[in-house]
Amino acid sequence: MRKIAHRVIILAKEGGSVIKSMTGYGRSQMIINGRDILVEIRSVNHRYYEYNSRIPRAYNYIDEKLKALLKTGISRGKVDVSVTISNIEGRDTEVAVNKGVAEGYINALRGVADELCIADDLTLSNLIRLPDVFIVQKTPDNEDEVWCDVSKVAEEALERFVAMRETEGEKMRLDVLEKADFILEMVGRVEELSPQTVVNYREKLYKKLSEILESKDIDQQRILTEAAIFSEKIAVDEETVRLRSHISQLRELVNSNESIGRKLDFIVQEMNREVNTIGSKAQDLNITKLVVDMKAELEKIREQIQNIE
């Protein structure tokens, strides 16, 4: 495999964080060795690497090599590649003399000339005007040469394709980070509200238990203990700690060089689980509103990462 395709990946790693969109387009056209070659690559999001090609039937032998070449720069996505190969006029033809036909014409004409006592003025210019003296046939392709030419064009198209994916991916990276920062801010507000929520719940529960049991002899310490136990059930400290950890992991991933689409999807699922738990435990309208905001941002992140390679 040529170095050009691998250079696409090496440069990406040297350049730091590179998120790639699974949507991309790359095109290249060159005239090489008398062939006008056009390669176009398109892709949309897909869970795996799915390759489809449109190649002239006469050149089907390059299909597997082309598939392997594109895979050096594409790990996920539904990829459609189109290859057009046009030979410059006369480049793929070979002209030969049909010696048997020519000899037959000569013998027949000279025989008639002798029989009719006509002067023999047969020349080459007369002969070439006669039908089927020349044979025009297609020159057999040198398969290695054809692949060498096509691969040069395909590598350039792949570089442009990857560059477009990276440009779109950078926009997605910044957007995901912005939304992660917003969620982190919401987590901080939840942490500010949560302690007072627990206190309010404990006081409310204690008051209710006291009213119910006011006509009986009651153990005040037991009521306080039970109130504390129940109030702890609505505390969300553990959930916010885990949520902060997931956000940190998300930030590390989007700033890394690896293929991250599937990992991000898992982290977002975990973040969503923690947010749902906070929503189910919270006994405060303000926290409920924050939960709604966080879930909305998580859904936007989920939509973005569906298109990350």
What tens digit of pLDDT does each residue of 82-113 get? Answer: 999 988 765 656 667 778 877 887 888 777 77
- Of 9-23, 229-243, 295-309, where does mean pLDDT reach its minimum? 9-23
CA distance 232 to 287: 16
* Whether pLDDT at 191 is above 50: yes
Q: Which of 188, 172, 171, 196 is nearest to 293 (CA)?
A: 188
Angle at 161 between CA 157 and CA 162, to 5 degrees: 120
Which residue would you say has higher pLDDT here, 103 or 179?
179
pLDDT of residue 282: 75
pLDDT of residue 98: 78
Q: What is the DSSP string of 75-144?
A: SSEEEEEEEEEEEPTTTTEEEEE-HHHHHHHHHHHHHHHHHTT------HHHHTTSTTSEEEEEPPP-HH
pLDDT of residue 53: 96
**Cα Rg of the chain (Å, integer):** 38
Q: Helix crossing, 143-213 with 261-281: angle to 10°?
A: 10
Residue 5 identity: A
CA distances (Å), 196 to each of 192, 206, 259, in order? 8, 15, 42
**Residue 110, number of CB atoms within 10 A of its CB:** 13
* Whether pLDDT at 124 is above 80: no
- Dihedral pair phi/psi, residue 185, rounded to 5°: -65, -40
CA distance 196 to 193: 6
Place of tokens 């690896």: 258
* Whether pLDDT at 280 is above 80: yes
What value does the mean pLDDT take over residues 210-235? 62
Average per-residue pLDDT for the chain: 81
* Whether pLDDT at 217 is above 70: no
The pTM for the full model equals 0.65
pLDDT of residue 221: 66
Where do the domains of the chain lie, and which CATH numbers do they carry? 3-87+142-165 (3.30.230), 93-137 (no CATH), 168-305 (no CATH)
CA distance 82 to 41: 7
- Dihedral pair phi/psi, residue 61, rounded to 5°: -70, -15
CA distance 244 to 94: 72
pLDDT digits (tens, 9 = 90+) for 5-57: 444 433 333 344 478 888 999 999 999 988 899 999 999 988 888 999 999 99
